[in-house]
Amino acid sequence: MKQFDAGATNATNVAAGPLLQLQHVSHAYPTAQGVRTTLADLNFSLDKGRIACLLGPSGCGKTTALRCIAGFEAVSGGEMFLNGALVSKAGYSLPAEQRRIGMVFQDYALFPHLSVEKNIGFGLHKMERAARRRRVDELLAVVGLQALADAHPHELSGGQQQRVALARALAPRPELLLLDEPFSNLDVELRERLGHEVRTILKQQNATAILVTHDQHEAFAIADEVGVLHQGVIQQWATPYSIYHEPANRFVADFVGEGVLIRGTVLAPDRIQLELGVVNGHMPPDCCSGCQVDVLLRPDDVVHDDQASLQARVVSKAFRGADFLYTLELASGARIQSLVPSHHNHALGEAIGIRLDIEHVIAFRT
């Protein structure tokens, strides 16, 4: 997924472009206090075979965006194209059933009276019987549920129900698949495992998909690219790696991943003085020598080193099995975090040696 420059194309050449395009799309609705805008100026495109994610906190507009793409909500402004054809603009919306878009809902929405195989084949009633049987058998194998073909939804675990819902949505070979918080009802361990499985299934089927979630771990596990939303506005489109290591602004830096912002002073266009030492990196625009900045430090940027001269005091720690997440206090009272292998089990109040090992210096002007 990438930012889309609406001015660089037109309806004549859209057909040769990406599968999905949103040009300045907005969504709003009237309230007693006036008009409430839920989406503002969305511009992005999605190529065939790619998996994207709309990531953001509750109420940021991500599910509304998904519903607009599906055709369940009308847009207030802008235009939306699917395979080059206009499907949404202010005053016009192609009906959802004509968009060839599949959807996996948060609660799966399986038919309780139908077996697994009949749920999967529900949308294939127009196919010839033998072809329908082949497609259902193919998807039962893809999601690993051949042995449960005759079972009913109430006999399945949450993870199995989620696979049935995914198979049913994929069965008609939709142009685009939308997944609305598909793992929210599952426990953490199962969500992580199924996230990887879902990505594998989508890639195997060459599906084009958009996932909506508030969970960055799901976004990173499944998506090729991620769009971070806040108050209806796209803050950044990038790969998961870039979102984590190169956040575009303070909101993205704070929302994605763990870490803290620590005060620094610019020494030169590519050098910043921190309490932990001097780091090299790009400065914010219009930031010259002497400028005060906040530098993002991720837990993996702070390395525990018994030989280091710089010391920090352990003020809290969280055991994660393979490692500890330590919260450390510097001499100034500033606090940072460090991810340390779990065989380094230090007591609260103990001073430990640390050093910086930071490749991506992200600084924001104070």
Nearest Cα neighbor of 88 from 100, 103, 78, 98 is: 78
For the segment 16-60, what is each residue's pLDDT rounded down to a tens digit? Answer: 579 999 999 999 988 888 888 999 999 999 999 999 999 999 999
Given a cut of 70, is residue 10 above it in pLDDT?
no
Looking at the chain, the whole-number percentage of residues with pLDDT higher than 70 is: 96
Which domains, and CATH codes, for the chain? 2-100+174-254 (3.40.50.300), 258-365 (2.40.50.140)
> Can you give the pLDDT at residue 29?
87
> What is the C-alpha to C-alpha distance for residues 336 and 313, in angstroms, rounded to an integer?
10
Over residues 126-137, mean pLDDT: 95
For the segment 110-130, the average pLDDT, to the nearest whole number, is 94
Q: Can you give the pLDDT at residue 13?
A: 38
Cα–Cα distance for residue pair 257/208, rounded to 1 Å: 26
* pLDDT value at residue 105: 87
Question: Between residues 12 and 128, which one has the greater pLDDT?
Answer: 128
8 Å CB contact between 229 and 40: no
Cα separation of 345 and 329, whole Å?
A: 17
pLDDT at 11 over 90: no
Q: DSSP characters for 221-279?
A: HH-SEEEEEETTEEEEEE-HHHHHHS-SSHHHHHHSSS-EEEEEEEEETTEEEETTEEE
- Strand-pairing partners, residue 338, are 326
| Whole-number average pLDDT of the chain | 91
Q: Say whether pLDDT at 320 is over 80.
A: yes
Tokens describing residue 118: 């009949």
Q: Which pLDDT does position 72 carry in this prediction?
A: 95
The set of residues, in sequence order, having a beta carbon less than 8 Å from that of 239 and lying 6+ positions away, is 224, 225, 226
Residue 215 confidence class, pLDDT cut points 50, 70, 90: very high
Give me the pLDDT at residue 321, please.
Answer: 92
Predicted pLDDT at 107: 85
In the beta sheet, which residues pair with residue 352? 312
- Locate 257 and state its tokens: 């991943």
Position 61 scores a pLDDT of 94
Q: For residue 40, give both structure tokens.
A: 């503002």
Report the alpha-carbon distance of residue 161 to residue 78 in Å, rounded: 37
Give the whole-angstrom CA distance, residue 228 versus residue 243: 8
Q: Give the span between the Cα atoms of 273 and 31, in whole angstroms.
A: 50
What pLDDT digit, counting tens, does each position of 231-285 carry?
999 999 999 999 998 999 999 999 998 889 999 999 988 899 999 999 988 777 7
- Helix 158-170, helix 188-204: angle, nearest 10: 20
Q: What is the 3-state secondary structure (H, E, C) of 65-77?
A: HHHHHHCCCCCCE
Where does residue 282 fall: left (phi above 0), alpha (psi -120 to 50 degrees), or beta otherwise?
A: beta
Residue 178, amino acid: L
Q: What is the predicted pLDDT for the residue at 85?
A: 96
- In terms of Cα–Cα distance, which of 123, 125, 101, 242 is closest to 180? 101
Closest CA to 52 of 235, 218, 248, 256: 218
Report the pLDDT averaged over residues 67-79. Answer: 96
The pLDDT of residue 2: 44
| Residue-level pLDDT at 16 | 52
What number of H helices and E strands is found in the chain?
8, 22
Contact yes or no for 61/212 (Cβ under 8 A): no
pLDDT of residue 190: 80
Question: How long is the chain?
Answer: 366
pTM: 0.86
Counting other chains too, the contacts that 27-34 makes at CB distance below 8 Å and 24 or more residues apart are 27/61, 27/64, 27/65, 27/68, 27/73, 27/74, 27/75, 27/76, 27/232, 28/76
* Selection from 223, 215, 100, 104 nearest residue 161 by Cα: 104
Q: Which pair of tokens denotes residue 91?
A: 């005053």
Expressed in percent and rounded to 5, the helix, strand and coil fractions of the chain are 25, 35, 40
Neighbours of 84 (CB within 10 A): 15
Q: Are 178 and 69 in contact (CB under 8 A)?
A: yes
